[in-house]
């Protein structure tokens, strides 16, 4: 078992999540975490005290203006942007990527190329494929190392060329939980003259982000993966956002930089909830949060029944505590259903990691369990006990 001791008050943390009660074990976190009470309160407060559209001279509209600008400032700090002008809000990562891919590809055509990877969630693959198809652009795919479940950096580099306009890749695999060297991949893109587009959805609950330090051009994630509401946010370099012509209704086409890429009225109540979620993470500090996660991840790995086949890195270095595995002789659905009968929630299938499952040769996908800071040693042990019984 793990030699690391938790440095956080897990019982106190769990008390702040109203949905965590009774006997249910939430290890389905990669699909969306539980929501902190402060987020509930912020959303309720918005509806009670500030509910109005933007730009009016009256009290509630001015309050909504302030909430939007506070959310931009908080998002800039959370993602490592230079200012709130480099922040774009949207419904979720998928919607943002669909929108950005259309804007970015509208000036491309035959002879241009877009590079994707075999490790990404389909939200960072299919939008580029669809946009490329519309414009006659060639899609290329970088392979993966199937042992480590990381992007094959050499293959990625070999497929970049003077024709590559965009390279889209993920920070942490939503399937295997492995962490790519995104700073290196972004550097390779700069050398090739290609724009880099990072999917940080799965990394965001598990570590600090500094998009400016990474040197990427665009980075996107979703707040419901880090204890907040259902909404997405993105960092984009200001010079890019200023140069792109967005799809926008005419009266709003001259809005400030980040605003110009947001379609329709913003989700003001969710922005208030987003600010609360970021403040909650800040109140814990990443060191304490990640220390607890690592201890639980090591506990899981140390107790994994021998027949289990784990995909990707087998230690906690170079990964987040998301684990993709199968039990020989049992289908992923059978394993997940059996665990659900024990009130232990895990996922099965491909969880939109379509290309990853193809590379691993897993037609039925795999089981996925994901740990976050509100999970406990007892919950990890309940998962292990369920797997041991099935094995």
What letter would DSSP give residue 345? E
Q: For residues 98 and 268, what is the distance between their CA atoms, to the nearest angstrom? A: 22
The CATH class of 10-37+285-390 is alpha beta
Nearest to 147 by CA among 349, 296, 360: 360
Write down the pLDDT at residue 2. Answer: 38
Angle at 353 between CA 106 and CA 28, to 5 degrees: 125
Write down the pLDDT at residue 1. Answer: 36
What's the token pair of residue 42?
């912020």
Write down the pLDDT at residue 356. Answer: 97
Write down the pLDDT at residue 252. Answer: 63
CA distances from residue 9 to 5, 84, 290, 342 in whole angstroms, order as listed: 11, 33, 13, 26
Write down the pLDDT at residue 248. Answer: 82
Q: Tell me if domain 10-37+285-390 and domain 41-280 are identical in fold.
A: no
Contact 39, 227 (CB under 8 A): yes
Domain ranges of the chain: 10-37+285-390, 41-280
* Annotation: CATH topology of 41-280: 3.40.640
Q: Which helix (H) or strand (E) holds 165?
A: strand 164-170
Q: For residues 88 and 95, what is the distance between their CA atoms, to the nearest angstrom? A: 12
Listing from the earlier edge strand, what are the strands of the sheet with 195-199? 87-90, 232-236, 218-222, 195-199, 164-170, 113-117, 138-142
Write down the pLDDT at residue 256. Answer: 67
The C-alpha torsion from 359 through 363 and 364 to 365, rounded to 10°, is 10
Write down the pLDDT at residue 254. Answer: 63
Encode the chain (391 residues) as per-residue pLDDT tens digits. 334 445 789 999 999 999 998 899 999 999 999 999 999 999 999 999 999 999 999 999 999 999 999 999 999 999 999 999 999 999 999 999 999 999 999 999 999 999 999 999 999 999 999 999 999 999 999 999 999 999 999 999 999 999 999 999 999 999 999 999 999 999 999 999 999 999 999 999 999 999 999 999 999 999 999 999 999 999 999 999 999 888 888 766 666 666 788 888 989 999 999 999 999 999 999 999 999 999 999 999 999 999 999 999 999 999 999 999 999 999 999 999 999 999 999 999 999 999 999 999 999 999 999 999 999 999 999 999 999 999 9
């Amino acid at each position: 078992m793990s030699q690391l001791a938790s440095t956080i008050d897990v019982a106190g943390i769990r008390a702040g999540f109203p949905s965590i009660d009774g006997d249910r074990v939430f290890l389905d976190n990669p699909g969306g975490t539980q929501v902190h009470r402060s987020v509930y309160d912020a959303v309720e407060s918005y509806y009670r005290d500030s509910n109005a559209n933007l730009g009016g001279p009256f009290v509630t509209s001015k309050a909504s203006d302030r909430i939007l600008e506070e959310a931009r400032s908080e998002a800039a700090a959370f993602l490592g942007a230079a200012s709130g002008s480099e922040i774009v809000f949207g419904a979720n990562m998928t919607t943002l990527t669909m929108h950005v891919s259309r804007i970015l590809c509208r000036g491309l055509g035959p002879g241009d190329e877009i590079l994707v990877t075999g490790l990404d969630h389909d939200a960072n693959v299919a939008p580029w494929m669809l946009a490329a198809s519309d414009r006659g652009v060639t899609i290329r795919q970088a392979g993966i190392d199937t042992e480590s479940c990381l992007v094959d950096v050499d293959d990625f580099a070999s497929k970049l060329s003077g024709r590559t306009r965009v390279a889209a890749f993920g920070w942490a695999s939503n399937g295997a939980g492995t962490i790519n060297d995104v700073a290196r991949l972004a550097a390779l893109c700069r050398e090739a003259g290609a724009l880099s587009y990072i999917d940080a959805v799965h990394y965001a609950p598990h570590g600090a982000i500094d998009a400016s330090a990474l040197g990427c051009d665009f980075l996107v994630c979703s707040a419901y993966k880090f204890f907040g509401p259902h909404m997405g946010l993105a960092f984009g370099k200001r010079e890019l956002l200023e140069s792109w012509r967005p799809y926008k209704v005419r009266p709003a086409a001259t809005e400030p930089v980040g605003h110009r890429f947001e379609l329709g009225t913003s989700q003001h109540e969710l922005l208030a909830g987003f600010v609360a979620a970021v403040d909650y993470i800040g109140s814990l500090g990443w060191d304490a949060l990640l220390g607890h996660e690592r201890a639980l991840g090591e506990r899981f790995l140390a107790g994994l029944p021998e027949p289990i086949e784990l995909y990707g890195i087998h230690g906690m270095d170079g990964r987040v505590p998301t684990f993709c595995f199968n039990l020989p002789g049992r289908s992923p659905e059978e394993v997940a259903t059996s665990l659900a009968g024990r009130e232990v929630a895990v996922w099965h299938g491909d969880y939109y990691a379509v290309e990853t499952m193809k590379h691993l040769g897993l037609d039925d996908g795999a089981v996925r369990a994901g740990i976050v800071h509100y999970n406990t040693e007892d919950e990890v042990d309940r998962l292990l006990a369920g797997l041991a019984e099935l094995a």
